[in-house]
Structure 1
């Protein structure tokens, strides 16, 4: 009986030690993972730089365009000196509008070249000091009269985010994402079968229905 009690005591001690080793191992493994993740995060942050040159404006703006088309896109917008210029010549169907470096956050857009008259008219009216609703109303009348045209199905890609740092190696802007607009002048919920508000994230819906600026809006989930 005495031998059995001694054996049980030793077994208990061994189990306690083994359990302690496992706990220690698990804790050390968790700490190691946390340090690795934090280190990787810090390393990624170190690679980010401000968009402080025309070359950086072009590189980040092109992220709004489909990857296969970026090399031949025309890029326009404000340069670092504050002048609205052609930053890069192009010869395909896309025009890219670079981020305005004087504004908070980041926003670049890529659109079909057939939309340029509509976009340029908006920029001109804004330069005249017209407000959002005034611009909307003026273009509404001009589209109705035939003076201005919006091609049905023309697409606008918007690359946007609240941060203005980017990775020079990939040209990706920190935490930026894409949303898409497909212009469908005077389309409605009834004519398209789409709701006038998104049913859930990543679902298409129709915005400004029944107007010249009616469009299908698609806001993808962030990665």
Structure 2
């Protein structure tokens, strides 16, 4: 036991544990977060992650148009996302309202109203978000490796409708695009590829 304690106190730390929540190092958070981005966008994406006390903070400045959010260690499962920088006002407003204790519906209604009045600036062009998720057991917090991950794509087209895009209101088959929240500030095209069977050892 004494040898184990000595090792834990002197070994190079790869994890930070605060309030029973394990937070990977910034390097590991960056490595895992950018897995949500297309391969050719990963090196230049800005990355936000979490400090030991759970505060969201900028871990790496970006050189291209993507912003990535690392996995929230307080939430069940692994989930990282990367989105176009023009979506940042929309995303930041959501985080701000959530921090203020607003419910999901309150956040939606507030952003809808603010987008319609112009207070909340929504992108003028279609902008994409990539979401990468996996089970807790498939995310190695010590190495940043993720197994059996699933990527879905969301293309925001504010206030677009099924009629203006020709898209259906629900998918006609696995992996086919469809439009959600048509006519709303967060109208978006959903693209959910078929899920593959988990890899076996």
Q: TM-score of the superposition, structure 1-length normalised?
A: 0.72
Larger Rg: 1
Q: Does 1:134 align with 2:106?
A: yes
Alpha-carbon distance in 2 for matches of 1:127, 1:154: 25
Deviation at 1:185, TM superposition (A): 0.9
Deviation at 1:72, TM superposition (A): 1.2
1:214 corresponds to which of 179, 187, 194:
187
Higher strand content, 1 or 2: 2
Comparing 70-79 with 213-222, greater Cα deviation is found at: 70-79
Deviation at 1:125, TM superposition (A): 0.3
CA contact (8 A) 1:95 1:110 kept: yes
Structure 2 stretches lacking a partner, 5+ long: 1-21, 197-201
CA contact (8 A) 2:46 2:63 kept: yes
The verdict on how the C-alpha distance between 1:79 and 1:174 changes in structure 2, with shifts beyond 3 A counting, is farther
The verdict on how the C-alpha distance between 1:181 and 1:68 changes in structure 2, with shifts beyond 3 A counting, is same
Q: Does 1:176 align with 2:129?
A: no
C-alpha distance after superposition, 1:166-209 (max 9, x if no partner)? 469x9541221100000111111111111111112101000011
CA contact (8 A) 1:106 1:161 kept: yes
Counterpart in the other structure of 2:16:
none
C-alpha distance after superposition, 1:57-108 (max 9, x if no partner)? 1111010111112111110132344121111121211100111011100111
Q: Does 1:57 align with 2:67?
A: no
Higher helix content, 1 or 2: 1
C-alpha distance after superposition, 1:28-76 (max 9, x if no partner)? xxxxxxxxxxxxxxxxxxxxxx973332211110101111121111101
2:129 corresponds to which of 156, 161, 170:
156
Structure 1 runs of 4+ off > 4 angstroms? Answer: none
Deviation at 1:162, TM superposition (A): 2.3
Q: How many residues are aligned here?
A: 174
